[in-house]
Structure 1
């Protein structure tokens, strides 16, 4: 553990934080997302099992969780590799940090639900110190730790274990909050009660969670990193919560500018959270370089300084990812 202090743990081993470069703090390079499949209306059922085609791309962008093939990002190793090369060419860093832990309760096995906080803590620590899933590839963060709304008993135990593991390791944490504006507050309270370092914790998906500026600023006061990580996602109807009007990228930039104007530029991180095929360039999507190629120029155009952008993409991720 002493060798981790002051370093960032990548899948290839510890590196000095200054080696990172511009960093996206919430991406998936390979995964299956079958757990969140949403059946389409009966008159669109043929699109569910069909391939991804040019003529259904718009439907797919609006209903990304209703096509089964779209949920299998793990099939796109070469396409992702090509995009990472493009990301580096666009000015991004090229180190990969893996996440340890457990997603939302719907993905918990009976064995996971039966574990004590102490047992869950040991799993998390082993994935950081020894390697994940039977490999010698060590995780460099705990997360994204999945939370539902309302929070389940199993998820609460995982949060408590996360806090305990973080206390022992001094590692960064990333949280997926439930889809309710009160969820981030509840999660931070549980983490604090369990002894977590909230200043080393990222609260993900704020762009689909807290929309009221006053409430957002109230949450910002609690001290976590504030992650806007759905850049590139612009939906008419958000399948997981139809009461939410998903913001556009322009709306996200406005929210970032507000947080900066209120003094929180040292706590902001951004990303795309790519987790389905349709968001890859191969399928007409925005890809992993969207923020660098499109969002940064628009941020500059809207009066966000280069100094603030460097904090968001360079300094804040570097500080968050460094072990204490």
Structure 2
């Protein structure tokens, strides 16, 4: 697409890459995360339904996926606006917003935030994990899914004229489902036609990123324009991480601030703290 080539498509229109400034590449400014609710032990059910107040903060921090209101980020637009302004005051310029269909993408709110803060916001096209796929989504062919992605980038998302600028985050579970496989194939087909970046949410298993890259490659994706997210909770072995890096995609560590003694979404994962994330940087392995 010659009109888009070399440009960044934000919710307010096309921008030269040099105008972005410091960019956060994986954020959620407004979403619902009910799909990841983890019921607490029976003796703690009551606290999971209570409002967020000072006396509950410690429990919520340690059980963040078990508190229902904590999973409703779409309720906190003013707080998000304040954080964007703080980000801007400290040299920030752009945010890639990774909320896709299934977790309440709201491009109109993103446009409003961009207008009110002056931060460039790039919205993501596509679908989250299978647990959030509608029956209509699961029934779609790869060609139909490709049409959806193309439309969200070229014409506008969610019945608006507000266009997405990347594909993703594309949600994948472990094991990968058939619906997710079709979305991955549609992602590759769309990228092959438009040349846009792709951002992947891998399943919580060390082999998941390898499988996803293989599917994308077989469907014609450009792996050099693909980002594999959440590697700080996915590939923990140094040798495996360097092996994965050889495949040529971007390796993203994006769960900074998520420091849990017990990672409810993947009990077998020893979630690193931020110091370990920094020390685990693949560049330091070389």
TM-score if structure 1 supplies the norm length?
A: 0.80
The equivalent of 1:303 in structure 2 is none
Structure with greater contact order relative to length (CA < 8 Å, sep ≥ 6): 1
Moved over 6 A (4+): none
Which residue of the other structure, out of 144, 148, 163, is the alignment partner of 1:123?
Answer: 148
* CA displacement, residues 21-65 of structure 1 (integer Å, 9 cap, x when unaligned): 111100000001111111110111111110011111111111111
Correspondence 1:99 to 2:124: yes
Alignment partner of 1:217: what SS?
A: helix
SS in 1 for 2:121: coil
Q: For residue 200 of structure 2, give the secondary structure of its aligned residue in structure 1.
A: strand
In 1, Cα distance between the equivalents of 2:285 and 2:47? 45
**Per-residue displacement from partner, 1:187-214 (whole Å, max 9, x unpaired)?**
0000000000000000000000000000
Deviation of the 1:262 alpha carbon = 4.8
Aligned-CA RMSD value: 0.8
C-alpha distance in 1, partners of 2:11/2:193? 20
Question: Pairwise mapping of residues 32-181 of structure 1 onto structure 2 (< 5 A)?
Answer: 32-93=32-93, 94-181=119-206
Q: 1:195 aligns with which of 202, 220, 233?
A: 220
User: Structure 2: where are the runs of 5+ without partners?
Assistant: 94-118
Q: Distance in 2 between matches of 1:171 and 1:250?
A: 32
Taking the aligned partners of 2:284 and 2:43, their CA distance within structure 1 comes to: 48
Aligned twin of 1:310: none
Q: Which residue matches 2:13?
A: 13
- SS of the equivalent of 2:25 reads coil
Name which of 230, 234, 244 aligns with 2:269: 244
Listed one character per residue, the Cα deviations across residues 152-178 of structure 1 (whole Å, up to 9, x for unaligned) are: 000000000000000000000000000
Partners of 1:225 and 1:255 lie apart in 2 by: 15
TM-score between the two structures when normalised by the length of structure 2: 0.90
2:284 to 261, 273, 283: 261
Counterpart for residue 321 of structure 1:
none
Tell me how far apart the structure 2 counterparts of residues 51 and 261 of structure 1 sit (CA, whole Å).
43
C-alpha distance in 2 between matches for 1:61 and 1:137: 35
Provide the C-alpha distance between the structure 2 equivalents of 1:152 and 1:34, rounded to a whole number of angstroms: 19
Q: Deviations over 1:255-306 (max 9, x none)?
A: 11xx11356xxxxxxxxxxxxxxxxxxxxxxxxxxxxxxxxxxxxxxxxxxx
Between the aligned partners of 2:17 and 2:250, the Cα distance in structure 1 is: 17
Question: Comparing both structures, which one devotes a greater share of its residues to helix?
Answer: 1
